[in-house]
Structure 1
Amino acid sequence: MAETSKVIHIRNVGPEISENDLRELFQPFGGIPKLVMLHAKNQALLQMQDVSSAVNAMQFYTNVQPTIRGRNVYVQFSSHQELTMMDQNAQGRGFQALIQYDAQQNAISARTSIQIANAAAITEAFGGALPPGISGTNDRCTVLVANLNPDRIDEDKLFNLFSLYGNIVRIKLLRNKPDHALVQMGDGFQAELAVHFLKRARLFGKRLDINFSKHPHITQGADAHEYVNSNLNRFNRNAAKNYRYCCSPTKMIHVSSLPQDVTEEEIVNHFEEHGAIVNTKLFEKTRKKQAHVMFENEEQATEALVCKHATSLGGSIIRISFSQLQTIRENSQ
């Protein structure tokens, strides 16, 4: 075993595991001031508040197999005594630095500002110009969603829909107005995209009413669900590419991360509860199995997306977005 350290190295951290999941695993043993996800290697580095806390955690998990979301993870002391800078080989991308801000929201704002700082790349993603009605200068990050179906909606379903247009910080259902919710996006530009593309969307028999909120952000608390560290946020990597896929809800969904042996029948069985399926097509792109599923209308496709994004199909966690194709062609990819 490596020399004792307050830094713990965690392996087999799958894409479905978030920073919050790891924190929940180790918080019973003490504070966790720093945590680094090494996504490219399915690993993480977690720093406890002191060595004794780390030792207690390691002793406990020597006798109890730590499991997150049905996946066994494996822990050991790290060779790092302190998380300050990741070495050159940490993620295989050269030297990287850890910068600690005084508040989590400041770190979020800095990250998202960097992602959209290259305005040319963003406009190129939209075909050389921002969509009509998108200013690109909005600074209000939080949107108010009204006319929800309170019997069928929850925070995760809202996350699945709004994460198509940017990273989600947190979501809060308003208990005094059960058909209202607040959604805090990563920055004002992403909030503007969500308002623009979802302004006429229908979900669970209701036409959504979406506007910018007077609240600049959602206060952290027991009634607010946190998503800032979720691995399901789509814009942490290659944000410009994801902006390219932003559109209003369509009748067609694009399903990726499918198991290689999946069949069209299994896909139909997975989605048919959400509406009549007009057509499906399986195809491979860069050796990865993907599919298009076409419903009778946009509302059915929207329901399928919010209910089935990040669910398991054949042992794989699938990802869903709207497709801008109008019809399924034999060579559609």
Structure 2
Amino acid sequence: TIYGASDGTDNKKPRVEEAPPSRVLHIRKLPSEASETEVIALGLPFGKVTNILTLKGKNQAFLEMGTEEAAITMVNYYATVNPHVRNVPVFIQYSNHKELKTDAGNQRTQAVLQAVSAVQSSGSSSSDVQEALAAVSSPVLRIIIDNMFYPVTLDALQQIFSKFGTVMKIITFTKNNQFQALLQFSDPVNAQHAKLALDGQNIYNSCCTLRIDFSKLVNLNVKYNNDKSRDYTRPELPAGDGQPSLDPAVAAAFSKESNSLLGKIPGALNPLSAAAAAAAAAGRVALAGQAGSNGVLLVSNLNEEVRVYGDVQRVKILYNKKDSALIQMSDANQAQLAMSHLNGQKMYGKIIRVTLSKHQTVALPRDGLDDQGLTKDYANSPLHRFKKPGSKNFQNIFPPSATLHLSNIPQDVTEDDLRLLFSDTGGTVKAFKFFQDRKMALIQMSTVEEAIQALIDLHNYNVGKKQHLRVSFSKSTI
């Protein structure tokens, strides 16, 4: 028995003028909220599904099976077991069409079919196919950053992924010593396209590789809007206890430059057109292109720890606001690095605020003009850590922490000498550990703020025999 009749009535009695067997099936009486995924699921147990056309206004759909035999098996089965979608009985019959010629512009449908086809081609079980359908229906992506040479901020992820659709929520976290994120689009098809285009691509040249999969979650619960999590649909959310939030000036700067921030960073992912995204998915386009640079930071509540994250070229303390300055780094990568790690850190009892400046360079005072020493040029400074291309210093860039890494220690300098030296910066040394060769060590202060102060005071400190101590933040603990 074939349910329904070709004239669209609900008469369940077989009619003489029924359509002959065809691999295209006509499905009627679908609930208005039924998705393509649920319609495809009706045909999955019987063979490969090759196409689908939904008629939302009529609560109908056409489902094309891979073979006529699969369609016959499906119809015969549902003649004895009433098919349901969302607990609503539906009616299935052969269509007068022998194949579906649909517009490939139905992106959601194509995304679902691609996922199902890939799993079915691998010989996977029906449960695997169902899982693939569930995954491709999720608007949430799980993102892992491999080879994270430079830090990747929540804002950077938002700008990269928003090229494929509206990003609604992001949660970032560290798991198994890897930076990860959950990112929710407004539509599952946007998540599918972003995964196809970006999985395996580098955010920056030769580093920060995106590993992307679908999350089993279909909705993210974001409680706070800060540098770790963000719900773009609820700007009123609090920052949360102990979490730095963007002050109004910084937030305004981000909103003005949000569409071009990554575009100003050499090696950053460029905005992708639809054609470029399709080519990237096919592996033909390198996403890490070159762009213009802006290596100037606006820093409020100034200190010199920016040297840890790059080579400072020039500094200009603002004449009418002495606790703020423009700092020019050697390139925009370093400016982004310093901003990512230093914005929101505490120093001298104040919160440091760092954002990108609209200025491309810091101008030196005109000849003969005395600016009271507020502008200085460090281009020829011997303290540049990252001047040498490929320097191993690039591999040891970490956010501010209470534990400092010391190197270039003379053999005759003892643990007591170093403990005393670091105590004199005003902090408390909690732990100390020499490396085996005694040329390097870890020293732990009681707070991150104390460690920042010690680094400022003692990096390049002359410890004797023309040897200067090298100090940087460590990811290790003692």
Q: TM-score, normalised by structure 2?
A: 0.38
Tell me if the contact between 1:201 and 1:248 (Cα under 8 Å) persists in the aligned partners.
Answer: no
Question: What residue is the counterpart of 1:141 in the other structure?
Answer: 295
Q: 1:278 aligned to 2:433? A: no
Tell me which amino acid in the other structure corresponds to 1:228.
A
Q: CA RMSD in A?
A: 2.5
Aligned residue for 1:260, secondary structure, equals coil
Q: 1:227 aligned to 2:378? A: yes
Question: What residue is the counterpart of 2:458 in the other structure?
Answer: 308
The 3 A distance-change label for structure 1 pair 269 and 136 is farther
- The Cα shift of 1:209 comes to 0.5
Describe the superposition over 1:36-56 as per-residue Cα deviations: whole angstroms up to 9, x where unpaired: xxxxxxxxxxxxxxxxxxxxx
- The Cα shift of 1:135 comes to 4.2
- The Cα shift of 1:223 comes to 3.2
* Mapped partners of 1:142, 1:238: distance in 2: 21
Aligned residue for 1:216, secondary structure, equals coil
Describe the superposition over 1:68-92 as per-residue Cα deviations: whole angstroms up to 9, x where unpaired: xxxxxxxxxxxxxxxxxxxxxxxxx
* Mapped partners of 1:298, 1:214: distance in 2: 30
* Mapped partners of 1:185, 1:129: distance in 2: 27
Query: 361, 365, 375: which is aligned to 1:217?
Result: 361
* Mapped partners of 2:310, 2:349: distance in 1: 25
Q: State the aligned residue count.
A: 192
The 3 A distance-change label for structure 1 pair 313 and 239 is same
| Larger Cα-atom Rg | 2
Question: What residue is the counterpart of 1:264 in the other structure?
Answer: 415
The 3 A distance-change label for structure 1 pair 240 and 307 is same
* Mapped partners of 1:177, 1:303: distance in 2: 22
* Mapped partners of 1:320, 1:223: distance in 2: 26
Describe the superposition over 1:4-59 as per-residue Cα deviations: whole angstroms up to 9, x where unpaired: xxxxxxxxxxxxxxxxxxxxxxxxxxxxxxxxxxxxxxxxxxxxxxxxxxxxxxxx
* Mapped partners of 1:192, 1:324: distance in 2: 19
Question: What residue is the counterpart of 2:349 in the other structure?
Answer: 205
- The Cα shift of 1:186 comes to 0.5
* Mapped partners of 1:228, 1:177: distance in 2: 24
Question: What residue is the counterpart of 2:177 in the other structure?
Answer: none
Q: Which runs of 5+ in 1 are unaligned?
A: 1-117, 329-333
- The Cα shift of 1:137 comes to 4.3
| Larger RCO (CA within 8 A; separation ≥ 6) | 1
The 3 A distance-change label for structure 1 pair 239 and 198 is farther
Tell me if the contact between 2:264 and 2:294 (Cα under 8 Å) persists in the aligned partners.
Answer: no
Aligned residue for 2:336, secondary structure, equals helix
- The Cα shift of 1:243 comes to 2.6
Tell me if the contact between 1:170 and 1:184 (Cα under 8 Å) persists in the aligned partners.
Answer: yes
Query: 333, 344, 367: which is aligned to 1:189?
Result: 333
Tell me if the contact between 1:252 and 1:322 (Cα under 8 Å) persists in the aligned partners.
Answer: yes
- The Cα shift of 1:195 comes to 0.5
- The Cα shift of 1:175 comes to 2.7
Describe the superposition over 1:117-141 as per-residue Cα deviations: whole angstroms up to 9, x where unpaired: x921xx1xx6x469x9994743221
* Mapped partners of 2:413, 2:301: distance in 1: 37
Q: Which runs of 5+ in 2 are unaligned?
A: 1-203, 212-227, 229-257, 266-292, 366-372
Identical positions, percent: 33
Tell me if the contact between 2:434 and 2:440 (Cα under 8 Å) persists in the aligned partners.
Answer: yes
1:281-300 residue pairs with structure 2 within 5 A?
281-285=433-437, 289-300=439-450
1:26-65 residue pairs with structure 2 within 5 A?
none
Aligned residue for 2:340, secondary structure, equals helix
* Mapped partners of 2:295, 2:357: distance in 1: 8
Describe the superposition over 1:135-189 as per-residue Cα deviations: whole angstroms up to 9, x where unpaired: 47432210011134xxxx5xxxx1xx11221211111122311111111001111
* Mapped partners of 1:164, 1:233: distance in 2: 9
1:54-133 residue pairs with structure 2 within 5 A?
119-120=205-206, 123=207, 128=209
* Mapped partners of 1:264, 1:251: distance in 2: 18
Tell me which amino acid in the other structure corresponds to 1:234.
R
Tell me if the contact between 1:280 and 1:293 (Cα under 8 Å) persists in the aligned partners.
Answer: yes
Bigger shift: residues 133-142 or 169-178? 133-142
Tell me if the contact between 1:255 and 1:319 (Cα under 8 Å) persists in the aligned partners.
Answer: yes
